[in-house]
Amino acid sequence: MKVQDIIQYLERWAPLAIQEPYDNAGLIIGDKNDESSGGLITLDVTEAVIKEAVQHNCNLIIAHHPLIFNGIKKIGRSSWMDKCINLAIKHDINIYAVHTNLDNVLTGVNDKICDLIGLGERRILLPKPGTLAKLTVFVPPKNKHSLLEALFSSGAGDIGNYDHCTFEVSGLGSFRGNELSNPTLGKKGQTENVKEDRIEVILRKHDADQILKAMKNAHPYEEVAYYLTDLLNENQSYGSGMVGVLPKPLKTTDFFQHLKSVLKLQVIRHTEYCREVVSKVAVCGGSGSFLLEAAKKQNADVFITADFKYHEFFGADDRIIIADVGHYESEVWTKDLLHERLSKVFANFAFRLSRIDTNPIKYL
């Protein structure tokens, strides 16, 4: 199996196009055409993790956090990152990061946290705008069904929990081909008026190239009449954080004990218990303070995330309980998520969970 085979699956699940602009997800070090001898799954890439990969003959490391986050101009041998880069290259280790693109997908990091807590009725906390487009194409009625099948098969027509979604209307189209044309209907140099169906489908913008290719291959016309329009609609399948509901409300003290248990926490930094009972819960793996207002708008009782600064805690304003569980503690479960999905899809390939505790923060 090639590294590219695994990358293709990861990027179908969590497309690079939905990562945040500041991020650096993707193949960080290596060659996608390498044969893969095994995969090691980790939250962070450290020297110890790379040595672990070498020990177990894993030439592919799949990490949540990118080893190289910002641009670098020099690679020495002194910093921890320098040492990691040199060690990975020395041992021909490929390093791939699936970061905010996995945060932003409906079945990603936050969904795993919801699983652990036991939340139902889940939805994206802050849906991502600017990821959808509408394709409008005109086709003769007799070719409509084959064209629609091609569009649906390539990823068009999905809206939330529904697929094969389309709008159609019939009308009259006209055209005239020049001397170089080869019209499917009518004759060159002669204006033709023909019945056509207008088809509209929603698509994810990052799928546009493959959908347009499928459309052109399935369309009978030499020149396909279509247009693609960007939409401002929020995409309910992509976005930051999640919000869900407990099977039954819990007393706040009981909920926090439950949270410590399922996330295996030593400590939780939190604001005052301004709610006696917890029912609706918002979550965001990693640094999620930017979602506080969204959590309040959803009337969540508790917002579980990490990396809140001192003054940001005041933003709870007795309207919500902020529960800062720690960055590592909120995202370490991403390893299990990746292992579960990859082991199921590539049943005959060896994926290992790293045994290295990469948390740089320790508690007394």
Write the pLDDT tens digit of every residue in 56-96: 999 999 999 999 998 888 999 999 999 999 999 999 999 99
- 3-state helix/strand/coil string of the chain: CEHHHHHHHHHHHCCHHHCCCCCCCEEEECCCCCECCCEEEECCCCHHHHHHHHHCCCCEEEECCCCCCCCCCCCCCCCHHHHHHHHHHHCCCEEEECCHHHHCECCCHHHHHHHHHCCEEEEEEEEEECCEEEEEEEECHHHHHHHHHHHHHCCCCCECCECCCCEEEEEEEEECCCCCCCCCCCCCCCCEEEEEEEEEEEEEHHHHHHHHHHHHHHCCCCCCCEEEEECCCEEEEEEEEEEEEEEEEEEHHHHHHHHHHHCCCCCCEECCCCCCEEEEEEEEEEECHHHHHHHHHCCCCEEEEECCCHHHHHHHCCCCEEEECCHHHHHCCHHHHHHHHHHHHCCCCCEEECCCCCCCCCCC
Express each pLDDT in 133-187 by its tens digit.
999 999 999 999 999 999 999 999 998 788 999 999 999 988 898 988 888 888 8
pLDDT at 35: 95
Q: Give the pLDDT confidence score for residue 151 in this predicted structure.
A: 97
* Residues of the chain scoring pLDDT < 50: none
Category of 340 on φ-ψ map: left (φ > 0), alpha (ψ -120 to 50) or beta: alpha
Residues 40 and 48: their CA atoms lie apart, in Å, by: 12
In one letter, which amino acid is 346?
Answer: F
